[in-house]
């Protein structure tokens, strides 16, 4: 008797162990066994029944195990493709900015995100009562109001100047925090890249040239720039830079509010006070600085309408940038 699969095994069970099976026939015939042989034959019959049942059960378990293996585990099958991630759009654009400035001789400097008041505000010439220090904008550590989350990467300027003498030519990419209600247009954290150049004979013309080159490298050779006077505590004079809207080409559209221009960064000549506060002789050295938001540049390049998309890690959104790098 042999069974090669579950069906054959069931046929065997029916043949031998069912009510009308061969073993039951023997049990029926047991009545005819002579009285003095009953004990001996009875024991053998029981043994036969138990062993047959055991054998059927074991074989059934074995067939079940084999069929599970056949369904789930095929060691010869090719592995599932490993899903590779892709670069985050903010990283792609940040790297592009870094790349443009490194070709101009800037090197990368970094500083802590948890900062102190001195590096974020005081060393950058913020007056004691400047509104940027306000609780509305800045995340302070409750038990220690001198410690805060940096609100801009300009803090790295001060960290670099306090331990280096010119020439200084650095960019500072990093994350910054502001106490803003989260919406499509604002978030409580975002990314900036700061640039600082301090040397003898640095002029506003140098700044303007770097700005123009950056805009053209980033947004295309036809890009125009314009500077509007502005105010920052750490630069004098200060300016904001607009580029010709790269979505409508300067004709006017919803994105540029029909002006043809979009603001992308703040800049200026480093205020002599800032040089002095950080141990650099302002009679010998001059500098320029600029700072931009990476999300803003990314929006302009890729027209992401909702800032929250950058931090939701939705695969459908992230996959759209696979080709970009």
Q: Which stretch binds ligand DAH (CB under 6 A): 47-55, 262-270, 274-282, 311-319?
A: 262-270
Q: To the nearest 10°, the Cα dihedral for 195, 296, 183, 174?
A: -30
Q: Nearest distance from residue 151's CB to ligand DAH, in Å?
A: 7
- 267 is a contact residue toward ligand DAH (CB under 6 A): yes
Q: Nearest distance from residue 271's CB to ligand DAH, in Å?
A: 9
Question: Which residue has the CB atom at the shortest distance from ligand DAH?
Answer: 291
- 289 is a contact residue toward ligand DAH (CB under 6 A): yes
Q: Per CB under 6 A, which of residues 187..246 are in contact with ligand DAH? A: 194, 232, 235
Cis, bond preceding 237 (omega within 30 deg of 0)? yes
Q: Which stretch binds ligand DAH (CB under 6 A): 71-79, 89-97, 205-213, 261-269?
A: 261-269
Contacts of 204 (CB under 8 A, 6+ apart): 237, 269, 288
Q: Nearest distance from residue 217's CB to ligand DAH, in Å?
A: 19
Q: Per CB under 6 A, which of residues 136..155 are in contact with ligand DAH? A: 152, 154
Q: Nearest distance from residue 246's CB to ligand DAH, in Å?
A: 21
CB burial class (10 A; 0-12, 13-18, 19+) of residue 237? middle
- 111 is a contact residue toward ligand DAH (CB under 6 A): no
Q: Nearest distance from residue 269's CB to ligand DAH, in Å?
A: 8
* CA 273 vs CA 122, 206, 281: distances in Å: 11, 21, 10
* Number of other residues whose CB lies within 10 A of the CB of residue 149: 20
Q: Nearest distance from residue 239's CB to ligand DAH, in Å?
A: 8
* Number of other residues whose CB lies within 10 A of the CB of residue 76: 4
- 290 is a contact residue toward ligand DAH (CB under 6 A): yes
The 3-state DSSP class for residue 94 equals helix
| Backbone torsions φ then ψ of 159, nearest 5 degrees | -60, -35
Binding site for ligand DAH (CB under 6 A): 152, 154, 194, 232, 235, 266-268, 289-291
């Amino acid at each position: 008797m042999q069974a090669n699969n579950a069906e054959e095994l069931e046929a065997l069970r029916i043949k031998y162990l069912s009510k009308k099976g061969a073993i039951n026939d023997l049990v029926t015939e047991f009545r005819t066994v002579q009285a003095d042989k009953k004990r001996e034959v009875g024991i053998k019959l029981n043994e036969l029944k138990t062993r047959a049942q055991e054998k059927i059960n074991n074989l059934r378990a074995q067939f079940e195990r084999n069929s599970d293996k056949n369904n789930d585990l095929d060691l010869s099958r090719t592995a599932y493709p490993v899903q590779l991630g892709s670069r985050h759009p903010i990283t792609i654009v940040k790297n592009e900015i870094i790349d443009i400035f490194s070709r101009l001789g800037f090197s990368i400097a970094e500083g802590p995100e948890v900062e102190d008041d001195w590096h974020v505000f005081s060393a950058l010439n913020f007056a004691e009562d400047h509104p940027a220090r306000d609780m509305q904008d800045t995340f302070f550590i409750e038990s220690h109001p001198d410690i805060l989350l940096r609100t801009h990467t300009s803090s790295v300027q001060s960290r670099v100047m306090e331990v280096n003498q010119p020439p200084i030519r650095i960019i500072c990419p990093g994350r910054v925090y502001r106490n803003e209600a989260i919406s499509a247009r604002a978030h409580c954290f975002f990314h900036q890249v700061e640039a600082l150049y301090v040397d003898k004979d640095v002029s506003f013309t140098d700044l303007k040239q770097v700005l123009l080159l950056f805009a053209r490298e980033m947004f295309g050779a036809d890009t125009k720039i314009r500077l509007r006077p502005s105010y920052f505590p750490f630069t004098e004079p200060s300016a904001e830079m607009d580029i010709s809207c790269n979505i409508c080409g300067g004709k006017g559209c919803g994105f540029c509010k029909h002006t043809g221009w979009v603001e992308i960064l703040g800049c200026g000549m480093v205020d002599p006070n800032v040089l002095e506060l950080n141990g650099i002789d302002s009679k010998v050295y001059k500098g320029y600085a600029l700072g931009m938001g990476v999300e803003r540049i990314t929006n302009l390049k890729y027209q992401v309408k909702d800032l929250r998309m950058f931090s939701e890690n939705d695969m459908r959104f992230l996959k759209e940038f696979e080709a970009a790098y």
